Structure 1
Amino acid sequence: MIIRGNTVQEIQDSIRSLLKEGKLHEGDFLPSVRELAEQLGVNRNTVASAYKNLILLGIVVSKGRLGTQIKIQQKIRSLEGYQAKLTQNIVDLAHGNPLRTFLACLENIQLKQFYCAVYGDDIYHEGLLKIAQKYIFSDIHQTNKINFSHGAIDAIERILQAYLVSGDKIAVEQPGFITSINTLEQQQYKMYPYTVSSTGFNVTELQSALENNIQAVILTPRAQNPTGYSLDQEQAKKIKALLTHYPHVLVIIDDHFSILSTHCYHHIIPESTQHWAVIRSVSKYLAPDFRFAFISSDEETSTKLRCKLNAGSTWVSHILQEIIYQLLQDENFDTRIKEAQTYYHIQNQKLINHLQRCNIPCATQYDGLNIWLDLPHTDKCTKLLAQQGWLVRSGQDFRIDKDISGLRISTAEMTDLQMQNFAQVMQNIYQILLHI
């Protein structure tokens, strides 16, 4: 492997060519700046600049005294490995899905009089904007503008790209939402995790991240995925007071369970925060397949989003907007939301009761579609459960920079008998875990 070149551009191009040719591989270390400078007969600053550019491009990473390493690309965390294990004898508690019964039905959608949009038309449905302001974001009292996006992750990605560049630092929850973690990894952001547990959101760790000059914070205030925990009023006040000292930090709220939540929304964004957004997707109450989210934000963030979601090429489909508008206007919508909200709450509580009777440690309440069991020896536990016919997600799937002990269990599709049987199996496995 020979790196060539006399200029910054030539050196970095040479390294990239060696990667494409398979002469350099993920995890390989490059020569030291001094060594390569002597080899090429160039100034050390030239090599250092080439390495710096490659770091910004996300091709290499600095390992301090160890040197510069070809970046090991993160494997995308998904459900594929779990789906491959599914058989008729396995009960899937790893899916994280809402119950199909409560999702949208399109049989009453009327599009006969609908005219599809063309280039240059208004990008947003006026009626849907009004619903968003009066209903979806009725609890946001700051001056705000409304936008739409292709789902919550699309919104997060677009907002981050509007303000940040690769290498910027973001405070994120740990354990965290798999898709969000994947997105941040792929965009080469540096993640500063703060812990979410049954005792709440770790404000001390969040403060430490802020003191380390992070550029953004992402927080899930209700039904946090994977834990099912929600932010209480006391912690919300602490976080809001903390953020007042960092007005330049971008704050993104992913309130994905929104109108289905049994917990109050506590707004943590102070008036002093310059750039912020609250994102509420329709995935949990209409369907994930809609890939649609509402965004409430400050005016500058709204302007940046509208530049990215313009009428020339990247707007959210007007057909989709019309369908969602009609679904939200349906006379039975509120009733169905209330039924779904009650159902998910009861499902979680039923499983908690079974687990408590079997002396399995768990929180007293959860919100959302999952509950979280903070148990030791996660990998061993998931294997033992699989052998007994239960598929769950390991806490390791939701980690950022440390091992996570815990299991995520999706409750939406569980029957009463399954809950009882699962708790009894967990009781036996828990005794095994305690003696490892």
Structure 2
Amino acid sequence: MCSPRGQSPLGARFTPARRDELLAALRDFPDVLVVEDDHNAEITGADAVTLASGGLPRWAQVRTVSKHLGIDLRWAALACDPATLARHDGRMLLTSGWVSHILQVTVADLLADPAVTRLVADASRTYTTRRDALRAALEEHGIASHGASGLNVWVPVRDESAVVNALRTRDWWTAAGTRFRIASPPGVRVTTATLTPEESTLLAADLADALAESQAVYGG
């Protein structure tokens, strides 16, 4: 299972070169089902570079409208190979698979509405601007970060708890990376969806102070 763009928490996305490397590795394992969770495709600020288009024998791509139209619509679309589709349909016969017709019609109308399409495109550009603004502000303080797509920026740190708590005292709420990682180095996730460029400047300065404080404590 993977997210081709807007991956949380790193904000990573597939490049064509990375996609080709993964496809080459997967061709030795034709029984593996590859599921792409492209959950916020319309607002990631990145083009689609997918494994699903690479001719794999077993694949599925899922898209939802939760991120750009509303989580309460509870609607998702699935595209997949014929065998996976048959297994999916068989499972749905045994479980509760009914989705409200009202919700289905609402989603269909929203997806077909040019005004909504323009609004979502504007939102995508705004999210990209805000994500890039934070990364630029962090770079001015010499702070490394990751975030090529999506709504989050990942900042590597030495002590997650110290940084999160230090930022909280400055009225910034960030997520410690421990819940997102297994063997990766520590870091904090910053969600930039509502963070204006002006606020990014303030946050970057406070984060620089928090990093200095946490490193001093960590080293002492």
> Could you state the TM-score of these two structures normalised by the residue count of structure 1?
0.47
Identity across the alignment (%): 27
* Aligned CA distance change for structure 1 residues 312 and 403 (closer, same or farther; 3 Å): closer
2:108 to 321, 325, 335: 325
| Partner in structure 2 of residue 254 of structure 1 | 37
2:169 to 367, 387, 393: 387
- 1:248-327 equivalence runs, <5 A: 248-269=31-52, 270-271=54-55, 273-310=56-93, 313-327=96-110
| Partner in structure 2 of residue 417 of structure 1 | 198
What runs of 5+ residues in structure 1 fail to find an aligned partner? 1-217
Return the alpha-carbon distance in structure 1 between the equivalents of residues 210 and 108 of structure 2: 48
| Partner deviation per Cα, 1:364-409 (whole Å, 9 max, x = no partner) | x521111110111111111111122211100011124x46401111
Contact 1:252 1:279 in 2 (8 A): yes
2:149 to 367, 388, 395: 367
| Partner in structure 2 of residue 428 of structure 1 | 209
SS class of match (1:309): helix
Hey, which of these two has a bigger chunk of helix by percent?
2
Give the counterpart letter for 2:177 in structure 1: G
- 1:19-38 equivalence runs, <5 A: none
| Partner in structure 1 of residue 8 of structure 2 | 225
Q: How far 1:236 sits from its partner (Å)?
A: 0.6
SS class of match (1:332): helix
Return the alpha-carbon distance in structure 2 between the equivalents of residues 313 and 226 of structure 1: 31
Larger RCO, structure (CA 8 Å, separation 6 or more):
2
Contact 1:360 1:430 in 2 (8 A): no
RMSD: 1.9
What runs of 5+ residues in structure 2 fail to find an aligned partner? none
Return the alpha-carbon distance in structure 2 between the equivalents of residues 255 and 347 of structure 1: 21
Return the alpha-carbon distance in structure 1 between the equivalents of residues 66 and 99 of structure 2: 15
| Partner in structure 1 of residue 189 of structure 2 | 408
Contact 1:308 1:314 in 2 (8 A): no
| Partner in structure 2 of residue 244 of structure 1 | 27
Q: How far 1:361 sits from its partner (Å)?
A: 1.6
Query: If you compute each CA radius of gyration, which structure gives the higher value, 1 or 2?
Result: 1
| Partner in structure 2 of residue 377 of structure 1 | 159
Return the alpha-carbon distance in structure 1 between the equivalents of residues 105 and 90 of structure 2: 22
The alignment of Structure 1 onto Structure 2 pairs a total of residues equal to 216
| Partner in structure 1 of residue 180 of structure 2 | 398
* Aligned CA distance change for structure 1 residues 310 and 283 (closer, same or farther; 3 Å): same
| Partner deviation per Cα, 1:295-330 (whole Å, 9 max, x = no partner) | 100112112222233499532222211111111111
Give the counterpart letter for 1:264 in structure 2: D
Return the alpha-carbon distance in structure 1 between the equivalents of residues 78 and 144 of structure 2: 37
Q: How far 1:292 sits from its partner (Å)?
A: 1.4
Return the alpha-carbon distance in structure 2 between the equivalents of residues 391 and 423 of structure 1: 13
- 1:4-15 equivalence runs, <5 A: none
Give the counterpart letter for 1:409 in structure 2: V
> Could you state the TM-score of these two structures normalised by the residue count of structure 2?
0.90
SS class of match (2:66): coil
* Aligned CA distance change for structure 1 residues 384 and 303 (closer, same or farther; 3 Å): same
1:334 to 117, 122, 145: 117
Return the alpha-carbon distance in structure 2 between the equivalents of residues 318 and 312 of structure 1: 18
Contact 2:14 2:50 in 1 (8 A): no
